[in-house]
Amino acid sequence: MRIGDVDGKGRIYDKEGILIPEEGETVYSVFPSIKINLSGNWSFISFGNSIFDGDWGNGTVFITDRRIVFIRRPDVNLIKSHRVYGGDAELFFLDDDSSDYRAAIAHAKKVNLFQAFDFLEIRYEDIERIKRGPTHWRFCIKWRGKHASFTTKSRIAEKILPMMKEQDILKKKLPKE
């Protein structure tokens, strides 16, 4: 799994926010104007120079034969609504004076200044298990010793599962029926 922003410009996405496929990679599905949910420990999601919160705006999900990539431009107004997730996906609100709030606003301004996008890249081999719900699927990810989960609508999950099955990655990840 990889989270980034300006560092992905020209490598992960082009100037329009469209995925740049890796050599030999095939894009199978594109879902525009999608909201995703990435949950986990807040310090995990905001590691390094990248901050990622699923509530900061809709984006585009690209399903390829190797990975799932979500690309979007963060919405400063959504960040200013103070809605962010804390540990264990518990909802809490930041005050305007908090360092997390200031970091989130600075992040969005940086991304917009450089005409860049946020991105979230999940390679199929990073997915540990899959949980199916009535309308959504949760893909549980372990990365750098931490756990997170990527939740998406069933119609998107239905495009991801064949890619994982084709690569023999799906074994032991689906719940027993």
More confident site: 37 or 55? 37
What is the pLDDT averaged over residues 63-86? Answer: 72
Domain ranges of the chain: 2-35+45-127
Instruction: In whole angstroms, give the CA distance from residue 118 to residue 6.
Output: 7
- Which residues, listed in sequence order, are joined to residue 142 by a DSSP beta bridge? 147
Residue 172 has pLDDT above 60, yes or no: no
**DSSP symbols for 114-172:** TT--EEEEEEGGGEEEEEE-SSEEEEEEEETTEEEEEEEEHHHHHHHHHHHHHTT--TT
Per-residue pLDDT reduced to its tens digit, 134-161: 888 888 887 667 777 788 888 888 898 8
> Which residue has tokens 């690569």?
167
- Which residues, listed in sequence order, are joined to residue 31 by a DSSP beta bridge? 61
